Amino acid sequence: MDTSFAQRRRRDLIIAACCAVAAALVPLFVKDVYIQNIMVLTLMYAALSQSWNILSGYCGQISLGHALYFGLGAYTTALLFTKFGVLPWFGMFAGGVISALIAMALGYPCFRLRGHYFVIATIVIAETALLLFQNWDWAGAALGIDIPVRRDSWLYFQFTRSKLPYFYFALALACVAWLVTWWLEDSKWGFWWRAVKDNPDAAESLGVVVFDSKMGAAAVSAFLTAVGGSFYAQFVSYIDPESVMGFQFSLLMALPAVLGGIGTLWGPVLGAVVLIPLTELTRSYIGGSGRGVDLIVYGALIVAISLARPEGLIGLFSRGHPKEPAR
């Protein structure tokens, strides 16, 4: 059994490498900036959803407040750059560390909560942060932060017209998030989480170690999400509380994983690849009518997928082998 699991893992890694290389070549053929923009967003959401999946999918702690970490990453980078001239690369790291620390501080009391109590706590905490930023004058309050345009360079991580640098960064981030997940699957944390999922009572006997692993998952998940937020701030070069910390954003981060297959290695990627282009295209090509048709299509699709494929779109591919690693 162990060999088949090891085989599967090796195969996953090879597939991922092939996908990454293929994705990296796409911009050579697709020159349209609008399409490139969609690809950047797709990769960004794949990375964000993959990070969310670590805490909420594998670890089973469903968070609908990840916009908090995303926003913290975006704000840390933007504030450090505009107020102190700190390069975005340091800001990105700082944002990640701050978010990870906050995630652990919040996890300490929150991981005692179960089910919907936990979900609502995450929503409420993110909303509180949103309101605080909305009223924090030094951080621009509702006016947000307009990141000043310097020259095109990797140093400032700013590029006026070209989407390619953003594309490759987002691709790298998605790969990192995927690799972390891949590595966690086979770690002892991954083993505990599976054990807890299969048998909640086992959680009691594992007690402390499971709690520590949850804290670890929260920190890793928050760090990666915050890096995504920093990326977003550089990519859009303007942030305001509503657009980086809104509740909608927390849902959007969870959605690809849920539709693709929650708690699976490939679910978030698959979900993002289907969902994000669809969202963008429906808005662009039928949203201009002002009649809400894009919303109807988008919403109906979510209902349809979640009902027809409760295990996620990944279920379409997994007929041949077991979903859970057999061990």
Chain positions 237 to 296 lying near another protein, rule: CB under 8 A, are 237-240, 242-243, 247, 251, 254-255, 258-259, 262-263, 280, 283-284, 287-296
Residue (135 or 205) nearer to another protein, CB = 135
> Which residue carries 């975005």 as its tokens?
88
Q: Which residues pair with 238 in a beta bridge?
A: 146
* Contact (Cβ atoms closer than 8 angstroms) between residue 40 and residue 166: yes
**Per CB under 8 A, which region of 5-13, 69-77, 87-95, 311-319 contacts another protein?**
311-319
Q: Binder to another protein among 3, 85, 161, 320 (CB under 8 A)?
A: 161
> Is residue 164 near another protein by the rule CB under 8 A?
no
- State residue 219 phi and psi, 5-degree precision: -65, -45
Q: What is the DSSP letter of 293?
A: H
**Per CB under 8 A, which region of 67-75, 86-94, 124-132, 177-185 contacts another protein?**
124-132
> Is residue 318 near another protein by the rule CB under 8 A?
no
Reference 256, options 235, 233, 279; nearest CA is 279
> Is residue 316 near another protein by the rule CB under 8 A?
no
Q: What is the DSSP letter of 161?
A: S
Minimum distance from CB of 302 to another protein (Å)?
3
* Contact (Cβ atoms closer than 8 angstroms) between residue 27 and residue 164: yes
Q: Binder to another protein among 6, 15, 105, 135 (CB under 8 A)?
A: 135
Q: Binder to another protein among 82, 134, 156, 215 (CB under 8 A)?
A: 134
Q: Which residues pair with 145 in a beta bridge?
A: 239
- Residues in the interface with another protein (CB under 8 A) total 77
Minimum distance from CB of 34 to another protein (Å)?
4
> Is residue 306 near another protein by the rule CB under 8 A?
yes
**Lookup: tokens for 181:** 């997940």
Q: Binder to another protein among 86, 97, 113, 215 (CB under 8 A)?
A: 113
> Which residue carries 């001239």 as its tokens?
85
Q: How far apart are the first and last CA of the chain?
A: 6
DSSP string, 274-327: HHHHHHHHHHHHHGGGSSSHHHHHHHHHHHHHHHH-TT-GGGGTTTSS-SS---
Go through the chain and tell me how many residues it has: 327
Minimum distance from CB of 2 to another protein (Å)?
25
Residue (18 or 142) nearer to another protein, CB = 142
Reference 252, options 230, 280, 231, 284; nearest CA is 280
Per CB under 8 A, contacts with another protein among 68-107 are none
Minimum distance from CB of 304 to another protein (Å)?
8
> Is residue 303 near another protein by the rule CB under 8 A?
yes
Residue (205 or 284) nearer to another protein, CB = 284
Q: What distance in Å separates the CA atoms of residue 229 and residue 71, rounded to the nearest whole number?
A: 6
Q: How far is CA 76 from the centre of its chain?
A: 18
Residue (12 or 280) nearer to another protein, CB = 280
Q: What distance in Å separates the CA atoms of residue 27 and residue 279, rounded to the nearest whole number?
A: 21
Q: Binder to another protein among 200, 207, 299, 322 (CB under 8 A)?
A: 299
Residue (34 or 183) nearer to another protein, CB = 34
> Is residue 111 near another protein by the rule CB under 8 A?
no
